Structure 1
Amino acid sequence: MAQRPTGYGGQGFSLRGEKDRFVLPPAFRKDFADKGDDRVLCLAKHERWPCLKGFSLSLTETFEQMLDREEEAALRRQQDFDRELRGMQLWGFVEVPFDASGRFVLPEHIADLGDVGDALYFQGGTPFLTLWNPDRLAQMGTGWEQAQANCRTLETAARAKGKGK
């Protein structure tokens, strides 16, 4: 049987709601359930981009293999690789519980790292999903056009729905 991909697919958007909570979009909640994980969203600052990355606890089982691959690639390119620093980046996440409806409270220090305001755009990818401040995503350059368009569309719909309440 073919191995299931470990990544996350799709996009989503959440405005900060009552009780200061965001909502993990349904497609991502399904990804977590498919991986057999409890309702825990692991969050950390992305190493290269001005956003947060999220993943399920089950991904931690692959961290040593990731480190091995990244170290081998750096050696092939004759570049330095700080395995300890990279390991701290991978393992430096916080565990954030979410309820059956996907609601979660973003810890303030993590929100600060991601420059999160009143909205989050979720972008699937492999092996992490990314969580963006829409304004920061809009500042990204070439190659980000699809994510930027998706974010604008989802944000417009979420804000229109919010005004209807």
Structure 2
Amino acid sequence: MPLFLSSYANRVDKKGRVSVPAPFRAELEHLNGFVAFPHTEHACIEGWDRGRMAQLAQAMDDYSPLSEEYDALGYLLGRARELPFDPEGRVILPAYLMESAEITDSVLFIGRGNSFQIWNPEKHAQFEARIKPSSAIVAKAISLGRARRGGPHE
């Protein structure tokens, strides 16, 4: 499973090409790219490896084809696009993804563990100012995660 950490700013050229940060490419090199789709709640692009997208597709089998959950997962799959790396480690961001994230000439890649996001830097600064968690919230999230996995509590 890949591990995406840290944040990286890059420019987008007039053709929509952007260099994927080297640490992210290293996590995806066996796939020669990644899958991208518009986030459903925030103005950003989600970046997942192909295996994680396959898990999402498989999760559809848990729902009735007539359910809202099935439609929601199908929507994500229908909006997803595989973005292969070119020889320089760049991808081309399709216009519909750039528009959904309000991206023009620069992006911010944000590592999120087993996925990453691509943001307009100004939009991300606004988002981050709004959601910056307190240490108490972080400690609670870590504790809850351990409890779900059956690990020791602190």
TM-score normalised according to structure 1 size = 0.66
Q: Would the aligned equivalents of 1:10 and 1:27 in 2 still touch at CA under 8 Å?
A: no
How far is the alpha carbon of 1:8 from its aligned partner?
2.0
* 2:131 partner SS: coil
Distance 2:54 2:60 in 1: 12
Structure 1: 5+ residue stretches without partners: 72-79, 146-165
Structure 1 residue runs of 4+, over 3 Å off? Answer: 17-20, 64-69
Matches within 5 A, 1:59-138: 59-64=52-57, 82-138=69-125
Distance 1:67 1:47 in 2: 17
Distance 1:101 1:47 in 2: 30
The alpha-carbon distance between structure 1 residues 111 and 67, as it changes in their structure 2 partners (threshold 3 A), is same
Distance 1:112 1:104 in 2: 16
Distance 1:103 1:129 in 2: 16
**Which amino acid in 2 is paired with 1:143?**
K
Tell me which residue corresponds to 1:27. Answer: 23
How far is the alpha carbon of 1:61 from its aligned partner?
2.6
Structure 2: 5+ residue stretches without partners: 135-154
Distance 1:91 1:126 in 2: 24
Q: Would the aligned equivalents of 2:19 and 2:91 in 1 still touch at CA under 8 Å?
A: yes
**1:142 is aligned to 2:131:** yes
> How many pairs are equivalent?
129
**Which amino acid in 2 is paired with 1:142?**
I
How far is the alpha carbon of 1:108 from its aligned partner?
1.1
The alpha-carbon distance between structure 1 residues 64 and 104, as it changes in their structure 2 partners (threshold 3 A), is closer
Instruction: Output the aligned Cα RMSD.
Output: 2.7
Distance 1:52 1:95 in 2: 13
Identity %, equivalent residues: 22
Distance 2:15 2:79 in 1: 26
TM-score normalised according to structure 2 size = 0.70
**Which amino acid in 1 is paired with 2:55?**
T
Tell me which residue corresponds to 1:41. Answer: 34
* 2:51 partner SS: helix
How far is the alpha carbon of 1:94 from its aligned partner?
1.0
Tell me which residue corresponds to 1:52. Answer: 45
1:11 to 7, 11, 14: 7
The alpha-carbon distance between structure 1 residues 67 and 117, as it changes in their structure 2 partners (threshold 3 A), is same
